[in-house]
Chain A
Amino acid sequence: MRYIPHTTGDVVQMLERIGVGSLEELFTGIPASARLKRPLDLPPAVAEGELLRELKALAARNATPSSHLSFLGGGAYQHFIPAAVDLLISRSEFYTAYTPYQPEISQGTLQAIFEFQTLVCQLTGMEVANASMYDGASACAEAALMSVRLTRRRKLLVSRALNPRWRAVIATYCRYLDLELVEVGFSADGRTDLDELRGKLDSQAAAVIVGYPNYFGIVEDLCALAGLAQGAGAKLVAGVAEGVALGLLKSPGELGADIVAGEGQSFGLPVAFGGPYVGFFAARMKDVRAMPGRLVGETVDRDGKRGFVLTLSTREQHIRREKATSNICSNQGLCALTATVFLSLLGKEGLREMAVQNVAKAAYARELLAKIPGLSLPFAAPAFNEFVVRSQKPLGEVLAGLEAQGILGGIPLGADYPELADAFLVCVTEQHRRADIEVLATSLAGGAS
């Protein structure tokens, strides 16, 4: 087997040196009763070429941008990925390396994470960012727990307009921690209902958690939300599911957010059926000791040369154990590196240009769809690259009709929002050409009324 170098000769020599007669003797520490008495029942080993053939057959059974025109978003976004990204992160010194616990031979990883932390601070307008989390949803759950630690309060006010899967993850994390999750609804314009929030904020509120943009693609009024939350002594957590939005929108930090938890998949990571993605997490320097996750800091070596190390490790599980700020061990190292490479290539202008194109193309799609009889756009507030479309004709039929023409029109909302059972979420990015948007509109017009 090409991954295991031992020849029979090697094995004989090594057994001799160890002082045993057979491999079986090495396992005498395992009681006979514990031993498996049959071979594992797995498919027989397959040669390399055959393996790829098998995987390609599986691949052929899936809808992709080659087979379907897709307007799916909802927390995973199809964006342009420059060719250099994958080539750089495929350097084996990056991807086959371990966590940088031995800093002298990990300066590549450590400096790149330091750069990632900086980029996240710049994008979010916050003072400190960690080395990344598993994904945006779990980062948001950790932000909720951090707010509880900081305020010592037990109530979390979560906007219903925050991505439903993010809300589900927050609920899972909070499940046995004796915390109260309170839902705050959204108004007719698609933004979190400030009056309802005002009514529900009290001296037990640890955090207010909203999406920015929210699940409907809408830009929430973070400034007003921060005012309300902090006025009651709670933290404002901004959950950013679509990182590209930060290329154009005001940063959550400058609008008053206390913690920003976001999803970095848009920064160079393929949609890959849901993962691996990368969560980013940023806060204020005064709260750094309550932050979860790894942190890389700058320092010097014995000769005074600049270098980077993992630092403030006493917050983490391997030292603090049950009092740790989280149990998180891995970050999503290579994914954070991917985002760093992507953001370096796009740069100041490129990220803005990408964001501007997203806004323009989504607006164009909205304009065309709004004109189609039988369809309506319920939410009027300004949006980034996603929007909600309601259909008079049964939604199932509408989407099936699109699918028959090779189009994935959007994500049905009914399962998460019963009052929107006739609606779907459409996402348009810079990857959609004008012609693609017009095809969507034409197909919908053909079948919608």
Chain B
Amino acid sequence: MEFPEELKYTEEHEWVQVEGDLVIVGITDFAQDALGDVVFVELPEVGSEVAAGKAFGVVESVKAVSDIYAPVSGVVEEINEELPDAPEIINTSPYGDGWMIKIRVSDTKELEGLMDATEYQAHIAEEH
């Protein structure tokens, strides 16, 4: 199981790559492993608003379905157009090609609440 050091994490198992006031979001290796083979992913439209802690999309496997939560508030600047036709990328490359959306952050202070890799691993250990 991978937990890249340079990323931030949420309790709901999303990872966040921070680049100033633009963040890239996806789901973690732990999440994709728990889901199993991803068969479908629903992403928001470019330009739509997202709110911290609220669901922005859905990821489905054969036996489970999960909401994906926005780590921060802002506007969706870009979505990964590859994913709808090839959702399995989320399984094979959750931190790389499996990225989901890019958010233009409205309040960078919200980034402070995110966990680092160590805290995230501890969180998983606690939950399970």
Q: Interface on A for B, CB 8 Å cutoff? A: 289, 313-314, 319-320
Provide the bound-state CA to CA distance between A71 and B2, in Å: 72
What is the distance, in angstroms, from A356's C-beta to the closest C-beta of chain B?
44
- A319 vs B60: C-alpha distance when bound (angstroms): 11
B46 at the interface (CB under 8 A from A): no
Q: Which residues of B contact A (CB under 8 A)?
A: 40, 60-65
Closest residue of B by beta carbon distance from A315 = B65
The residue in chain A whose Cβ has the minimal distance to the Cβ of B63 is A319
Interchain nearest-CB distance for A318 vs B (Å): 10
Within the complex, what minimum Cβ distance (angstroms) separates A298 from chain B? 15
B interface majority secondary structure: strand
Contacts of A319 in B (CB 8 A): 63-65
Using Cβ atoms and an 8 Å threshold, which residues of chain A touch B63?
Answer: 313-314, 319
Interfacial chain A residues near B40, Cβ < 8 Å: 289, 314
How far apart are the CA atoms of A314 and B67 in the complex, in Å? 12
Q: How far is the CA of A170 from the CA of B33 in the complex (A)?
A: 42
B60 neighbours in A (Cβ, 8 Å) = 314
Q: Identify 14 residue pairs between A and B in the complex whose beta-carbon atoms are under 8 Å apart, listed by A's number.
A: A289-B40, A313-B62, A313-B63, A314-B40, A314-B60, A314-B61, A314-B62, A314-B63, A314-B64, A314-B65, A319-B63, A319-B64, A319-B65, A320-B65
Where chain A touches its partner, the secondary structure class is helix
Residues of B within 8 A of A320 (CB): 65
**A313-B62, A319-B63, A320-B65 given; 4 more Cβ-contact pairs under 8 Å:** A313-B63, A314-B61, A314-B65, A319-B64
A412 CA to B40 CA, complexed, in Å: 51
* Bound Cα distance from A289 to B63, whole angstroms: 15
Closest residue on chain B to residue A318 by CB atoms: B63
Residues of B within 8 A of A289 (CB): 40
Q: How far does the alpha carbon of A319 sit from the alpha carbon of B61 in the complex, in Å?
A: 11
* Chain A residues whose C-beta falls within 8 Å of the C-beta of B61 in the assembled complex: 314
User: CB-CB < 8 A to B65: which residues of A?
Assistant: 314, 319-320
Question: How far apart are the CA atoms of A314 and B61 in the complex, in Å?
Answer: 8
* Bound-state Cα–Cα, A320 to B64, Å: 8
Measured between alpha carbons, how far is A320 from B40 in the docked complex, in Å? 14
**A339→B60 CA distance, assembly (Å):** 33
Residues of B within 8 A of A314 (CB): 40, 60-65
The distance in angstroms between the C-alpha atoms of A314 and B62, with both chains bound, is 7
What separation, in Å, do the CA atoms of A313 and B65 have in the docked complex? 10
Chain B residues, CB < 8 A from A313: 62-63
Chain A: minimal CB distance from B32 (Å): 16
**Complex-state Cα separation, A314 to B66, whole angstroms:** 10
Q: Which residues of A contact B64 (CB under 8 A)?
A: 314, 319
**Chain B: which residue is nearest A309 at the CB level?**
B62
Min distance, Cβ A201 to any Cβ of chain B, angstroms: 26
Closest 10 CB pairs of A and B: A314-B65, A314-B60, A320-B65, A319-B65, A319-B64, A319-B63, A314-B64, A313-B62, A313-B63, A289-B40
| Least CB distance, A203 to chain B, in whole angstroms | 20
A320 vs B63: C-alpha distance in the bound complex, in angstroms?
Answer: 10
Give complex CA distance A411, B49 in Å.
56
Closest chain A CB from B97 CB (angstroms): 23
Task: With CB as the reference atom, state the residue of chain A lying closest to B66.
Answer: A314
State the CA gap A319–B66 with chains docked (Å): 10
Q: What CA separation (Å) do A351 and B127 show in the bound complex?
A: 59
